[in-house]
Amino acid sequence: MTLHDDIDTYLAADLHNELSADEQNKLHAHLVECATCRKLHQETKSMNNILEENLAAEKADPTFEQRMLASFRNRIPQRSGGLTKLIFDLMRLRSAQVTAVAAVLLGLVQVGRMVTGEGAAPARKLGYRDEHHFADRQLNAPFQRSADHSSAQASQLAAGRADALIASEENSFASAPAAPMTQGEKDKIIATEDRREFATKMAKAASAEAALAAQAKPAETPAVVANRKLIRNANVELEIASFDDVVQKITAFASEDGGFIATTSSNKQANGKLRGAVVVKILPENLDRFLQKIRGLGELKNQTLGTEDITKAYFDTDARLKNARVMEQRLIDMLKTKTGKVSDLLQVEKELGRVREDIEKMQGELKFWDSQVQFATVTISLAEKDMEEPAAFLLKERAQLALYAPDVEKVYNDIKALASPKTQITNAQLDRDNTGRVSARLSILIAPEESDAQIARVKTMGRVDNFQVQTERVAQGGTGMSQNARTKRDKVELNITISREEQEQAFQQTSLRIRTSAVDQKSKELRTLTEKQNGRVRSSTFSRDPDGREFANVSLRVPMKNYPALMESLNALGKVENVSVQRQDRTGAQIDEANAPADLSIQVYSQGNIVSHQSGLLATLRRTIAQSAGAIMWSLRMIGVAIAFLAPWVIALVALILIAKRVAQARRQR
Amino acid sequence: MMDANEREIYRAAIHGDRDAFEMIIRTHSRTLFAIAYGILQNREEAEDAVQDALVKAWKSRWRVRNPEKFPAWLCMIARHRARDVFRKRPRVSQTDLEGVAAATPTIYAPDVANTSASLDRQLHSALAELPDLHRSALMLRYFEEMDYASIEKLLGISNGALRGILGRALASLRKQLRPALASLE
């Protein structure tokens, strides 16, 4: 593009002084040559002038900035800004932005998970419930069947107990087709629970029916028994007050109902209670009456009734027996005729023996069945009440003893020396840590008869800080309470802890000051006094300060019983000041107060001699100058004060004199 | 580029230093006014637009990452604000304005047209014909006498493009006002 084509740009830039020197030269050269551009140059110049003139009028006025500021302040009120500034700064940080985005994403994910998780849970529940319903429906069919079954049973057992029914029903349910359905374990359990519930309901109904049947039956039963062979037996479990009484009563009942006692057995428990079993044979037709009577003897725990129908087997055996008899007769006839070979006869003899054996076996079987059918068997298990009552109690004693002793090791060895067959040391431990603190722990088992004596002996070995005895009664061979159980003392377990006296906290703390002139000597005296009172100095310090004052800090410990005597003797050392006593009363603790330690911290001090150690000539001079300078300053201040007091009066006086002079002058002139 | 002191002021303002921001208001509100006036061609409206722009800038100052871009960003806000005001202006239809512009020469006598008032009116209608970027550039140049580089930086124009813009703007004005110019001479 040539300069001529782009003349507008060059002209504007020229007017605005934005052309480089080179460009300027070129433009001017062109303007010399080109008339059109010259004209444009002229026009642009005047245009520029117009703009400069006109737009200058439109410029913002001088107060513009002030207005802007004022409106800004108005619209954005000054705030404390601490928090907002922080937030702004945070928003500017890239890491903060990234964190915020991450947090939002994480939150979204969590929300999503929650939503989907909650969505899934009810769905699962729903499915499960459906299955459950399905199971119920499936179960109904066997229930119907078993209901029929149980009512049949109820009519069969005249006075049957519900428990027995439940048991048998539960068995039948276990093999019901519904049980092995393709469901989870849980479903199965629920199903069995449902069944159980159903069974109890059914059992109630059945027992009601049974009660009805019991009223109707007695007349019918003998007829049934007449042509059927039924073996009846019953198991009864009773809880009773006294075994022997009940056995007597059972004997009486049995003979009343045409029965007898087959066997009795009993054994005695450790706590003197009897447990046993009685087997009674009773006529089947009287069985129900007999059971009713027995129930009155004690608390019925359990009862089962069983009936076995052996009619078919019995008559089979009977027929076979008859056949065998015929066979026997025929063989006997054969032998009587005695025709044939000897070997044949031997064969017949052998056969006869076998047949007779069979006959005897079958006769025995029939006899056994007859006896079984003739008498029903009732097994009565008897247990006296409170079988669980404990037979004996064991008193376990556990003692904790904490001792303070000046020499832990010695006491430790003394206690160890107590060992004997009746005093056994089960555990002994002596600890010494790197700061020289010694403590020991011992566990001892002491035979009950020696325990008190041994504990008392151990107690004398040191100062007892703490003694606890814990007794526990442990029931043996049962639980609960018993009035006639024996009580036995077990071995006493004694745990001993021994600590050094130093570690013991003082029972009483006293601090005081003694003023004296000879600190060193008096503190030595204090030491001997302490030893006289059976105490010990635990620490002592001595110091002298620049003014020549001396201090000795002595802390010592005495037994409480010697404390008053020591306090008394302190008066001999000097003037006792600032006594403060702090006592720690441990409420409820039984403590050996006479031997409890009392701590004293004593400061022995002297009034320093006032003479300073700075006694040279220069020092004296300096002090003198300092003092005199102080005195001058003081007097200056006083003078100032005096002037302040007097000045107004002086001024007033001078003024008065001046006025008086003027007045006098004026009079004279007149 | 930018001297450290100035840069520090911008940085402080971005971080919420009110004093620094007020300092920027003192130094920059005139250029903002020039830009807004370039778009709106009305002093009151331009002033309001500048005020709004400043408030907006204070509230969203944290968006600026590079302190050196702060002035350009301020100008951008002012420009947007001015355009918003322009758009929301109760519409005086274009024909009406033209009608007024066309009517004036006939109402006033030719010698009256020579007066500065007439020239002023013609100048404004000629300015109204220009794109607003051109007007803003003109205002920055004639109000504040800024050099081309600064104007380019403030208006976000690429290096060297301003020459062309101003050249074309002046040429366009010159053509529009040629009769008036001729009579002036």
Q: What is the widest separation between alpha-carbon atoms in chain A?
A: 219
- Given a cut of 70, whether residue A640 has pLDDT beyond it is yes
- Given a cut of 50, whether residue A183 has pLDDT beyond it is no
Do A505-605 and A392-502 fall under one CATH topology? Answer: yes
CATH of domain B94-184: 1.10.10.10
The residue assigned the tokens 């409480």 is A560
Q: What percent of chain B has pLDDT over 90?
A: 5
**Structural fold of domain B4-88:** Rna Polymerase Sigma Factor; Chain: A (1.10.1740)
**In chain B, which segments carry CATH 1.10.10.10?**
94-184
Region A373-389: mean pLDDT is 81
Is the pLDDT higher at A165 or at A98? A98
Is the pLDDT higher at A599 or at A126? A599
Is the Cβ pair B123, A84 closer than 8 Å?
A: no
Rounded to the nearest angstrom, the minimum Cα separation between B34 and chain A is: 8
pLDDT computed for residue A178 by the predictor? 42
- Residue B18 identity (one-letter amino acid): R
Q: What is the widest separation between alpha-carbon atoms in chain B?
A: 60
- Given a cut of 90, whether residue A670 has pLDDT beyond it is no
- Chain A residue with minimum CA distance to B49: A68
Kindly write down the DSSP assignment for every residue of A427-490, as one continuous string.
EEEEEE-TT--EEEEEEEEE-HHHHHHHHHHHHTTSEEEEEEEEEEEEEESS-S--SS-EEEEE
Region A156-178: mean pLDDT is 45
CB contact, 8 Å: A72 with chain B? Answer: yes
Give residue-wise pLDDT tens across range A42-85: 888 888 888 888 877 777 788 888 888 888 888 887 765 566 66
Q: What percent of chain A has pLDDT over 70?
A: 77
Strand A230-240 with A376-384, pairing: parallel
Region A624-642: mean pLDDT is 95
Q: What percent of chain A has pLDDT over 90?
A: 8
pLDDT computed for residue A197 by the predictor? 60
Rounded Cα distance, A660 and A560, in Å:
93
Region A12-30: mean pLDDT is 86
Give residue-wise pLDDT tens across range A403-422: 888 788 888 888 888 888 88
Is the pLDDT higher at A400 or at A608? A400
**In chain B, which segments carry CATH 1.10.1740.10?**
4-88
Residues of A in contact with B36 (CB under 8 A): none
CB contact, 8 Å: B23 with chain A? Answer: no
pLDDT computed for residue A347 by the predictor? 85
* Reported ipTM exceeds the 0.90 cut: no
Give residue-wise pLDDT tens across range A208-217: 555 554 454 4
Give residue-wise pLDDT tens across range A281-315: 888 888 888 888 888 888 888 888 888 888 888 88
- Chain A and chain B share a number of CB contacts under 8 A equal to 123
Contacts of A584 (CB under 8 A, 6+ apart): A505, A506, A507, A508, A509
Instruction: Tell me what the pLDDT averaged over chain A comes to.
Output: 78
CB atoms within 10 A of CB A38: 13
Rounded Cα distance, B122 and B126, in Å:
6
Kindly write down the DSSP assignment for every residue of A279-320, as one continuous string.
EEEE-GGGHHHHHHHHHTTSEEEEEEEEEEE-HHHHHHHHHH
CATH of domain A392-502: 3.30.70
Rounded Cα distance, A447 and A260, in Å:
56
* Reported confidence tier of residue A567, pLDDT bands at 50, 70, 90: confident
Partners of A240 in beta bridges: A384
- Given a cut of 50, whether residue A168 has pLDDT beyond it is no
Is the Cβ pair A51, B138 closer than 8 Å?
A: yes
Which parts of chain B have pLDDT scores under 50? 93-113
Give residue-wise pLDDT tens across range A306-351: 888 888 888 888 899 999 889 888 888 888 877 777 788 888 888 8
SS3 content of chain B, % helix, strand, coil (to 5): 80, 0, 20
pLDDT computed for residue A592 by the predictor? 67
Tokens coding B64:
């600026």
Cβ-count burial A55-85 (b if 16+ within 10 Å, e if not):
beebbbeeebbeebbebbeeeeeeeeeeeee
Residues of B in contact with A89 (CB under 8 A): 15-16
pLDDT computed for residue A644 by the predictor? 94
Rounded Cα distance, A560 and A602, in Å:
17
pLDDT computed for residue A611 by the predictor? 53
* Reported confidence tier of residue A658, pLDDT bands at 50, 70, 90: very high
CB contact, 8 Å: A10 with chain B? Answer: yes
Q: Which residue, among B140, B151, B163, would best test binding to A if mutated, counting the most A CBs under 10 Å from its CB?
A: B163
pLDDT computed for residue A641 by the predictor? 95
Q: A306 near A327, Cβ under 8 Å?
A: no
CB contact, 8 Å: A91 with chain B? Answer: yes
- Given a cut of 50, whether residue A129 has pLDDT beyond it is no
- Residue A502 identity (one-letter amino acid): E
pLDDT computed for residue A127 by the predictor? 43
Q: Which CATH architecture has domain A505-605?
A: 2-Layer Sandwich (3.30)
pLDDT computed for residue A1 by the predictor? 61
Task: Give me the residue from B29, B119, B163 closest to A50, CB to CB.
Answer: B119
Region A219-223: mean pLDDT is 45
CA A349, A353, A359: angle at the middle one, nearest 5?
A: 140
Rounded Cα distance, B101 and A39, in Å:
28
SS3 track for A527-579: HHHHHHCCCEEEEEEEEECCCCCEEEEEEEEEEHHHHHHHHHHHCCCCEEEEE
- Residue A10 identity (one-letter amino acid): Y
- Sequence ranges of the domains in chain A: 7-55, 392-502, 505-605, 622-670
